[in-house]
C-alpha cells in the first residue's frame, strides 16, 4: 500500500507510526541562487556548474546543477516530513541518471521500503524526478526515534 503523507503535527513520525509504502514528496526549483549557495557551502565551483561558456562546450550543452544539490532535496523530505524531526541518516546510495538544469523543478520522493524493529532503522527508497524523468534514485538508511521528547515548558 502506498500513501502520500504530510508532515506529522509533532514534526516527525516515530518508528511505530511508520509502515512500508508511506511516501512523502517535496518539489524544489533549481535556481541560480541555490546553485551559488551550494557551491559556497560545498566549496565545489566546478565550471560545469558555474561557467556557461565552459559548460556550453560539454556534453550537457550548458550549466547543470550539482548532483548533490538535487539529492539534498531528499534530505529535506527525510528531515522535515518522512520520517521527519529526529531521523538520523546512517547511509545513502544515490545513482544519477540525467542532468538537472537551472529552472528545473525537482520532485524529491521518499518512500518507506523496509523497517527493522529491533534497531529502529528504516530503509527509504529515494527518487528525484523532473517532470516524468527519473533524474536520480537510490536508498537511504535512517534511524528513527521510538518516542517523542516531551514538550519543554
Spatial neighbors of 95 by CB under 8 A, at least 6 apart, are 136, 137, 138
Tell me how far apart the alpha carbons of residues 36 and 38 are, in angstroms, rounded to a whole number.
Answer: 5
pLDDT (0 to 100) of residue 55:
96
- Predicted pLDDT at 97: 98
pLDDT in tens, the chain (153 residues): 578 999 998 889 999 999 999 999 999 999 999 999 999 999 999 999 999 999 999 999 999 999 999 999 999 999 999 999 999 999 999 999 999 999 999 999 999 999 999 999 999 999 999 999 999 999 999 999 998 766 665
pTM over 0.85: yes
- Identify the helix (H) or strand (E) that includes residue 13: none
> What DSSP letter does each residue of 84-113 carry, written as one string?
BTT-EEEEEEEEE-S---TT-EEEEEEEEE
Amino acid at each position: 500500500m502506498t500513501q502520500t503523507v504530510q508532515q506529522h503535527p509533532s514534526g516527525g513520525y516515530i518508528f511505530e507510526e511508520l509502515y512500508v509504502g508511506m511516501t512523502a514528496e517535496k518539489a524544489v526549483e533549481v535556481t541560480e541562487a541555490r546553485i551559488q549557495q551550494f557551491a559556497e557551502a560545498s566549496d565545489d565551483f566546478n565550471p560545469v556548474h558555474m561557467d556557461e561558456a565552459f559548460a556550453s562546450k560539454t556534453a550537457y550543452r550548458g550549466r547543470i546543477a550539482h548532483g548533490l544539490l538535487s539529492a539534498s532535496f531528499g534530505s529535506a523530505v527525510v528531515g522535515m516530513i518522512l520520517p521527519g524531526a529526529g531521523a538520523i541518516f546512517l547511509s545513502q546510495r544515490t545513482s544519477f541518471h540525467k542532468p538537472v538544469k537551472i529552472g528545473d523543478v525537482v520532485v524529491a520522493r521518499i518512500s518507506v521500503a523496509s523497517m527493522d524493529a529491533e534497531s529502529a532503522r528504516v530503509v527509504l527508497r529515494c527518487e528525484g524526478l523532473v517532470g516524468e524523468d527519473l533524474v536520480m534514485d537510490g536508498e537511504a538508511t535512517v534511524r528513527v526515534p521510538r518516542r517523542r521528547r516531551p514538550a519543554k515548558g
